[in-house]
Structure formats: C-alpha cells, structure tokens
Structure 1
Amino acid sequence: MTLAPFEGADALVRRNNISSQGPEGAPAIVFGHGYGSSRQMWRLVAPQFVDDHRVVLFDHVGSGGSDRRAYDRGKYDSLHGYADDLLEICHALGLSEIVYVGHSVGAMIGCLAAIAEPTLFDSLVLVGGSARYINDEGYVGGFEADDVDALLDSLDANYLAWASTMAPVFMGNSDRPELTAELLDSFSKADQAVARQFARVTFLSDLRSDLSSVSTPTLVVQSTNDIVAPVVAGEFLRDSIPGSRLEVLEAEGHYVHVSDPEKLTTTIRSFLG
C-alpha cells in the first residue's frame, strides 16, 4: 500500500515508535534494528548523522516502544510483513532517495523493501546481515540445523533463561560486561510471545534466491568475530548482490553499532562519500 506524504503518519508513529530528527529537506537515513533489540541500539551511531541527514529511527512491531496491539501473527510470520511496514513508514513520512542502515535481520528486511520499491532507496548498508543462518550444501551460514532447533527449543522453554545464556554469546566483548547487560536488558523487555515467533522467522529465513534482485548500491559490513553472522555470510551477500562491496571491521560480536560505533560510523560515512 502506498500512502501519500504524511497520510496516516500519526498512526504509524505510534505503531512503530518512530522518531525523526535533522534538517528538513536533508537526505533521509533510516536505521532498522535486529532481533531482540530496538531503535535504542542505534543511539551511538544515529546522532552522528543528524547535522546533515534526516535521521529516522523506528521499532519493529512487537519490539521496543512499538504498539504491541498492532502485532498480527499472520502478517509477521514472514520477513515480508516487516518489509511492508518499512515501506509504509517511508511513504507516510514522505521520504525518498533513502539511505537504509539495517542490522542483522533488519538488514535483510531492508533488502526485501528495496527489491519491492528500488526507486525509493539510494543505498543500503547491511550490518551483520545473513541470507540464511543454517548451513546448507555448498553454503555456510554459521549454524547447523540441529543447533538452530536447539536454540529455538531453548527459547520456547524458558525465554529469560535463553536470553541470559545467549546475550553474552551474541554480544561478545567479554571484557566489557556492561554491553552484555544492555543486550540482556533489551532481550528481557521484549514481549515473549512475539520474541518466540520473531526468532523462528529470523533464524529459519532463507533469502539467498532474493539477493540477485537487489539493484540498490549496497555496502555489506561484517565483524571479524561474529558468531551470529560470520564473515563468510557477508562474503555471500557481497557475491550475491550485484555491485555490492564488503567491509570487514576488526571488531568482536554481533552488535558492532554498540561495541564499536566509531568504526561503523566512519565506514558508513566513507561509503556515502
């Protein structure tokens, strides 16, 4: 559904907890978060672009400060439901020539949105993205199918225990426990029913066949030590998205925008020129 500029914007602001800062008429840069987090995770990167961009932050429905009454299990049983939301947000705010920066599954949601409406996006920055998390014949995603099944079973059995176990694994940087504490706090605030479904949609997703349809100039950013999305996952994205390029940052963990925001900011700035 395509909305005229600002038509329905108030409802979308409530639904997706949208914030917008920066000069009117400046190029738009939209930040999309990943699983188990919220727009708050961009707090160290997004402000670096406010002086010369219209910076838009939002929460996926069911995450952060979004209106959880808007969560529809049928709609969000696929990443396409989240991509549709992203497009609605962009149209309702009257955005165009958008720089979209997405983390983890948020990166892949951005790819789907750019495939659906390529003229809306000027560039994509995919941070810690993965087309498929599960290894397959001739493909390395980082997890065996049994590992993902065990992860999802553990999450279903006791979400808070799962969060306590996985937060330090996903964040890495064991010498900086405050980072793990922040991620665990984010996990713990999630709606558990939504978190369980979103986990299945995320970890069982497979967008490998979609990537050749991405025509937007794309930067893939991967960390050297990321258990969730290893460098090989970024190499697959680069090789599958026409004309894209890969930047590997010397960084640990899946949340480089939290652990190494300066590195990521510099990398995005360099890509945007």
Structure 2
Amino acid sequence: MFELEHTRIVDLPSASRIAYFEAGTEHRDAPPLLLVHGSLCDFRYWEPQMAALSAKRHVIAVSLPYFYPVTAPQGAAFGIQSHVDALLSLIHARNWGQVTLVGHSRGGCVAFHAASQDPSLFDRLVLADPGGKPAKPGEDPRPVAAIGADGRPQGAYAPEDPRMRAAAQVEAGDIDGGLEMFVDAVSRPGYWLRSAESFRTMARDNASTLPRQVRDTLPLYSRESASYVTIPTLIVNGDKSPPGFLATSETLTDWLPYAQRTVLRGASHGMNLTHASDFNREILSFIGA
C-alpha cells in the first residue's frame, strides 16, 4: 500500500522534512485522522488501519523527521519537542483544520504534548499505550538531560537498562540483536522473533534513530498539561501491555478532563498489529463513524 511514489514530503521551517501517506476522501463535516507512529516505526506501522479507517474518514499517516523515508540535516534536533513542532507545523502547512490525532507509544507522547500545546488544532485524541511517565507531586515535568564527559546527553535510562544496551548494540553494528532486545523490552519477551518480517524490515530501516532516542529525556506528563487537553480522549491498552504503559494510562485517564479508556483483551503493546480489527473498531466507535 505504501508506495513511495504516493508519499508526500514537506520541508518544514526547522529545516527538517516530514513525510506522510494519505488515503480516503475528505469529508466536509468530519476531521481527518492523523496517525503518529512510535519507536523504530514510520507511516507503514499503520497499514492494518488504513483500509478500515479510510473507508470512513480521510486518514493521514506521518513519518516523523529522521524516520523512513525522510532524513534530517546534520545537527537537526531529534526529540519529543522537535517532533511535536514538526507535527504542528505540518498541520498548519497543509491547512487541514482540526484533526483527530492518534498516537502509539512514543507517538502517543508526541500526540499528547501536541494537543496540550495547541489544543485548537484537534477535535479528538487517541493515545494507544502512550510512552513516558507522569510527574510525581512536586516534580518538575520539564526534561533535564545529564551530560557526560564527552559532552553528549547520557540518556533517558540507566546504563544497565535494556533499552540503553540495545542502542549500544545498534551503534556497534549488531542491528538485529539490538532491535530484538529493545522490542522485547518495550513489548514482551519473544515479540521480535514472532513479529512479521514487514515489521522487522521497518525497524531495521529506522534502527539509526534508536541511539538518538535513548538520549532524549522525555518530558513528564503533568496534571497541569493534561488540563489543557479539553477534547474527548480515548486511551487504548492491551491487557497484556507492559506495566509501565498501563500505569501511565491509568494516571492520564484520571488527569485528562474528558478521557475514557478501553482495554483490548489478549493484546500487548503492538495492539494495532496483532488485534487490528478490535483496535479499528474502537477508533471508529470513538469518532462516531
């Protein structure tokens, strides 16, 4: 479905580039669905959603800067805020008006912060296993990166964390070994080997983003930032999703003013791939299609 000749690439004011693929027809009274991928993924991640959702709505799947098939110039920023800025810039540039924003995992973190920073652009929000953590009482939600002796950010996780070790393996050239360690850590053991070859190919295409990502300290969710998201919000989890995603989702369900939550039975972190019919049905029900 995702033929490169049908991909649109937009140059952004930040000197980054962002690609997107769209399907379906525009509806005068229905906002388009804008889908945001997570770690190691790109717009191809949403292939199980495109046919079902585009039958009812105009659907746009983006590849954030640095992710296949786009690149960013040397020295361009990589991080949650730069991706939020890119997403907001794209919506303004394409004059889509309000959109329904759907984000998975790290893309859920991007989607949340986009909606909290410019809520006028969105009519609804869907967060599927949103990445990141809520701030504790009195904790500053702004990211603070520790800088190592080499002048580089030391990373968002402890050195022994499997995500850091996975990034080190990728940098050392053991691409599949590092990807297996990372994917299994954020989903569940054995997920990489059970994944479809199309997913593994996509992850390999985006492996170079992993070392950058683990050095990106995520902003924490806060009750204050959640209070700005005054639009209907659906939070989707799998009942087998890792505990961290479930804990974050429970807190956001409590903090967001108009949130509801659904849990897909038998699903884990890659719920939109393994339980696509259930996932699509929840999305369509939420947007009233």
**Shorter-normalised TM range:** 0.7 to 0.9
How far does residue 50 in structure 1 lie from its aligned partner after superposition? 1.3
> Does residue 154 of the first structure (1) align with residue 156 of the second (2)?
no
Q: SS at the partner of 2:63?
A: coil
Q: Partner residue of 1:250?
A: 265
> Could you tell me whether the CA contact under 8 Å between 2:21 and 2:43 is conserved in 1?
no
Q: Partner residue of 1:11?
A: 11
Match of residue 63, structure 1, among 67, 77, 99: 67
Q: Partner residue of 1:88?
A: 89
Question: What per-residue deviation string (whole Å, max 9, x for no partner) do you get for residues 36-68 of structure 1?
Answer: 1111110001221212311111101111212x1
Q: SS at the partner of 1:201?
A: coil
Q: Partner residue of 1:189?
A: 205
> Could you tell me whether the CA contact under 8 Å between 2:25 and 2:57 is conserved in 1?
yes
Q: Partner residue of 1:32?
A: 36
Counterpart Cα distance in 2 of 1:260 and 1:173: 18
Question: Which 5+ residue runs of structure 1 have no aligned equivalent?
Answer: 1-7, 140-144
Match of residue 237, structure 2, among 190, 213, 222: 222
Q: Cα–Cα, structure 1 residues 50 and 233, in superposed 2: closer, same or farther, change >3 Å?
A: same
Output the aligned Cα RMSD: 3.0
> Could you tell me whether the CA contact under 8 Å between 1:79 and 1:201 is conserved in 2?
yes
TM-score, scaled relative to structure 2: 0.76
Q: Partner residue of 1:164?
A: 180
Q: Partner residue of 2:57?
A: 53
Q: Cα–Cα, structure 1 residues 119 and 146, in superposed 2: closer, same or farther, change >3 Å?
A: closer
Match of residue 179, structure 1, among 184, 195, 198: 195
TM-score, scaled relative to structure 1: 0.81
Counterpart Cα distance in 2 of 1:123 and 1:219: 8
Question: Which 5+ residue runs of structure 2 have no aligned equivalent?
Answer: 1-7, 140-155
Question: What per-residue deviation string (whole Å, max 9, x for no partner) do you get for residues 72-119 of structure 1?
Answer: 44x32x411111111111112211221111101111211111122211
> Could you tell me whether the CA contact under 8 Å between 2:9 and 2:17 is conserved in 1?
no
- Map of 1:137-148 to 2, 5 A cutoff? none
Counterpart Cα distance in 1 of 2:159 and 2:281: 34
Counterpart Cα distance in 2 of 1:264 and 1:257: 6
> Could you tell me whether the CA contact under 8 Å between 1:128 and 1:229 is conserved in 2?
no
Counterpart Cα distance in 1 of 2:189 and 2:94: 37
> Could you tell me whether the CA contact under 8 Å between 1:129 and 1:229 is conserved in 2?
no
Counterpart Cα distance in 2 of 1:120 and 1:97: 5
Indicate the structure with greater helix content: 1
